[in-house]
Every structure is written in structure tokens, then in C-alpha cells.
Amino acid sequence: MNKESIQEALKAVKYPGFSRDIVSFGLIRSIEVVDGKAAINVAVATSDHSIPAKIRDDIENTVSTLEGIKEVAVNISVTASKQPAAASTEPKAARIDGVKHVIAVASGKGGVGKSTFAVNLAGALSKILEKDGKKVGLMDCDIYGPSIPLMFGVKGRPFVEGDSLIPLENHGVKVMSMGFLIDDNAPVVWRGPMIMKTIQQFIQNVKWGELEIIVIDLPPGTGDAQLSLVQNVELSGALLVTTPQPAATQVAIRGAKMLEKTNVPILGVAENMSYFVDPQGNRTHIFGEGGGQQTALELSTQLLGQIPLDQEIRHGGDLGTPISIGQPDSIAGKEFHKMANAVLEQLQ
Ligand code: ADP
């Protein structure tokens, strides 16, 4: 029994009155195990005495049942607060009304093709699901550089109905983007609290209607905006986009760690710009090989697919018709459809 397994087990302990666990709330300060004796340090900000007592009981009950543990010592440091600190800053993830699944496309950094994956995945999912009369949504939360309106060919301002925004639609997919709300040429300078507030409102005030699935294009990286998003919406899972060079693995894993911290399941890793097919039909691995597989292995998840470097993909993005819709039978089109099917299978 080691610290990691104890930490894993503690994810089953909920903060009293919340559906969220004490690990994702960041309450665990340290865990030590020596000769079957576990010492767990916890920090709680609350004025309600029953909360530390309940957390202590729950930790003791959970950890004492683990194999190899003979003794459990829980040390809780309590600071006074009107509200549980973590709970007040980390809102409960909300479901989006009428929407069955929400998945996020994430990356550890910008420029790896995250938005390209989001639009192509949404396009492929829509093509697959329209046969059953089901609809897909695409939500662009890349507040630093919203590129979905261009890549999905949607322009204009969303309608306002009461307090709600009505998404625009193209290729049969409902689309909402920060890009519809901010001026094309205005620099986007966001600070932490502003980001959280804007994202919260953006999520709560869009009237999506009945949808099978929404694909969210997350902002790149692992900062405030990403965290506040994954904390605000109940996500069924996330897909991590990376590039083939082994050096990209660590960056992708940083992105994955943020998702794991908030208990968002990783549906798989997708590799972009995996190879280039020259006019003679030869494959060249311009950016190296193995990054996607390595990332998937380190995260104990699957490599969902590999998309080549192909100017038709960029062209599709510039034209507003993703290759998964415009050329579904191309190599990349087929691979995006394969990935969409794999995602749907996992969500079942
Ligand atoms: P990110 O969202 O990670 O910043 P984008 O999806 O915006 O990255 O991609 C950056 C640029 O690279 C876009 O112009 C896009 O069309 C292009 N691009 C992405 N993936 C590919 C690919 N596999 N082949 C060709 N161009 C690509």
C-alpha cells in the first residue's frame, strides 16, 4: 500500500453535503505510510464543527479497510470560514439542460490542432447521429482565440430570448462561441475572476435544446479558464490532443493531470500531424513518432486515432467545412469518423 493508492481510495470520500470528493477539493495536504501505519494530513476551512469530524470518520473508515493498513491517523487543521473554502470557490458542476453528454477536447498547449479536432469530431458525430434523428452541439470556449466560427463556417450574433442565447447552426450542428460575443479585432485580456464569471454565464445562459452530445473546445493549457470550465460543467469525458514528437508527451500529460484532478474521465488520446503522405504515396513522419501512443500509455488510456498532416484539413478549416463533413472518405475523414465512433462507444 503506497500514498498513491491511499489518495486514490480517498476519492471515494465526499465533502459533507457535496457530491464532490475531498481529493478534488484539494483538502489533502500529505499522506505518509510506514509499516502499515497511514498518517493523513487534511486542511479544511469551515466554522461547522461537524464537518471535520465527519471527514475524519469517513477517511478512517475508508483507509482502514485497505489491504496492508493496520493503523490510520488523521490530522485535520481547521481554519474558520463562513463557507467551506473549497466549496465556495469551486462550484458544483452543472448539467446542461436537455443535453445527454458533454465532452471536452483539451490540449496541454496551443497550436496542436485542438480546434481542428473539435470541429471535425463534432462534424463526424453529427453525421453518425443524424441517422437516428439525434443532434450535436459545438461549444467554443477558447476565449483567447475563438476559431470555431471560422472553422465551422458560422457567422453572426446569436439570438437573445429573454436571458438566454440561442446558438447559431451550420452543417446540422448547433454552435456557440465566445467569438460571436466579442469584437473580431478587440484584444481579449482576461483575468482570473473575470474568466470564471464569463464562463459560468456562458454555460448557464445558452439554450441548446435537445442534444445527444456537445463537444467543447477548451482553451489551450491548464490555467484558470480551463479549470473553471471543467468545474462548472458536468463532463462525460475529455479527449486529449497531442502531436507525435516524444517531447510533446509531458505537455499533454500536464493537461491530463488537470482533468484527473477534477475527476473528468479521459476518453482517449488523439494524435495530430502524425505523418505526411507525399504524392508518391510514401508516409513521412515529419514531427517524429510515438508521442500519442506514449501519452496514452502513461495515462493508461487508448490512442483513439492518428490524423495526418494534410493541407485539405487546413483548407477545410479555412473554408468553414471540416474534412469530416466535406470529405468523409478521405484518410483524415475516415479517421475522424473512427474516433467519433470510439467516443460514442465509450459513452454508451
Ligand atoms: P489549436 O486549436 O490547438 O490552437 P488549430 O486547430 O487552430 O490548433 O490548428 C492550427 C492550424 O493548423 C490551423 O490553421 C489548422 O487548420 C492547421 N492544422 C491543424 N491540424 C492540421 C493537420 N493535421 N493538417 C494540416 N493542417 C492542420
- What are the sequence ranges of the domains in the chain? 3-89, 99-347
Outline where DSSP puts E strands in 94-154. Answer: 99-106, 136-140
CATH 3.40.50.300 corresponds to the domain 99-347: yes
Is residue 177 helix, strand or coil? strand
Position with higher pLDDT, 17 vs 286: 286
**Percent helix, strand and coil across the chain, each to the nearest 5:** 35, 25, 40
> Mean pLDDT over all residues of the chain?
87
What residue's CA is closest to ligand 1, atom 15?
A: 314
- Tell whether ligand 1 has an atom less than 6 A from the beta carbon of residue 147: yes
- Tell whether ligand 1 has an atom less than 6 A from the beta carbon of residue 141: no
The residues with which 177 forms a beta bridge, in sequence order, are: 140
DSSP letter assigned to residue 12: T
Fold (topology level) of 3-89:
GMP Synthetase; Chain A, domain 3 (3.30.300)
Q: How confident is the model at residue 88 (pLDDT cuts 50, 70, 90)?
A: very low
Q: How confident is the model at residue 31 (pLDDT cuts 50, 70, 90)?
A: very high
What residue's CA is closest to ligand 1, atom 24?
A: 309
- Tell whether ligand 1 has an atom less than 6 A from the beta carbon of residue 115: yes
Q: Model pTM?
A: 0.74
- Tell whether ligand 1 has an atom less than 6 A from the beta carbon of residue 307: yes
Instruction: From 116, 215, 310, give the residue whose CB has the most ligand 1 atoms within 8 Å, as the site to mutate.
Output: 116
CA of 1 to the centre of ligand 1 (A): 44
CA of 62 to the centre of ligand 1 (A): 46
What amino acid occupies position 296? A
Over the stretch 45-54, which tens digit does the pLDDT of each residue have? 777 788 899 9
Q: What are 103's three cell numbers? A: 465532452
